[in-house]
Amino acid sequence: MTPTVPELLLGNFLALIEPPPPEAMGEFLQGRVAVTGMISMLCAQEAERGTETRLWENADIRALLRCGAARHGAAFAERAEVEDKDMTLAGMDRVNAALRKALIDLHIAAEEAGDRELDHAILRHYVESADRRRLDLPPMPGN
């Protein structure tokens, strides 16, 4: 499971709302606050880039499915027709999940058929997608 921004921020809230026992006030509390701050920073990056990333991914997957439909069956073009109507991250993730399942099936079909051109196009999509979803950790104090 990949936690969503709302789930992570709720976890941060819960981690900060309950005070630790007195014996855990020193380094434990300091570590808890540091981790909570880091999670909040990563959530900020996801909130900033998440919608744009999902719009790009969904459009690119649709293009790959339509391209693959000509070679590996019209069903792939049909599976590309799911629309981005709900522009929340959760709504776009639901569409993205359906499109990714179709892309996996297309990738299997391309590999089985020896379609290296489409196989490489899909692999390039995976690399670009991973790069766009990358979250950057800041340098840690003392390092």
Strands (E), 18-112: none
* Per-residue model confidence as pLDDT tens digits over 78-94: 999 999 899 998 899 99
What is the number of other CB atoms lying within 10 angstroms of the CB of residue 61? Answer: 24
Residues 6+ apart with CB under 8 A from 12: 36, 39, 40
35-94 pLDDT, tens per residue? 888 889 888 988 889 899 999 999 999 999 999 999 999 999 999 999 989 999 889 999
The larger pLDDT score, comparing residue 84 to residue 25, is at 84
Q: What is the pTM of this model?
A: 0.81
Phi-psi domain of 40 (left: phi exceeds 0; alpha: psi -120 through 50; beta: other):
alpha
